[in-house]
Amino acid sequence: MKKRVTGIGGIFFKSKDPKASKDWYKKYLDFNTDDYGCTFWWKDKEGNDASTQWSPFKQDTNYFEPSKKDFMFNYRVENLVELLEELKKEGVTILGEIEEFEYGKFGWILDLDGNKIELWEPKDAGFK
């Protein structure tokens, strides 16, 4: 099996006013924000383009459910289907079904504290 997690894919958190949060981070910390938040571009160890997403969500979002936390981490993985199969065999709670977009595949699990964790097999070129 390939390495499970290869990096942090995103940091997502609830905000009373996501637009104001994005504006604040743009003004004071120079985040290059858009409708979704901010995408940080970097190179992986092979020199390929890679990204990490930073996004405030509305306070009433249900995207983080069943977790009751105000945040959710997204981790980059190499082979989502294989990883979810292994995690299921190991007794990890898998949430929902894999979803696929032009920028990658997504799956969700719960950690031992009940935090929803998003797993992302990225296609970084899909952002460009």
Residues 71-113: tens digit of each pLDDT: 999 999 999 999 999 999 999 999 999 999 999 999 999 999 9
Can you say how many angstroms the Cα of residue 49 is from the centroid of all Cα atoms in its chain?
Answer: 17
CB-based contact 20:83 (threshold 8 Å): no
Report which of 125, 116, 101, 105 is spatially closest to residue 51, judged by C-alpha positions: 125
**Residue 10 clears pLDDT 80, i.e. is over it:** yes
**Fold for domain 5-127?**
2,3-Dihydroxybiphenyl 1,2-Dioxygenase; domain 1 (3.10.180)
CB-based contact 115:72 (threshold 8 Å): yes
Phi, psi of 8 (to 5 degrees): -90, 125
Mean per-residue pLDDT of the chain? 93
**Residue 14 clears pLDDT 80, i.e. is over it:** yes
- H-helix or E-strand spanning residue 35: none
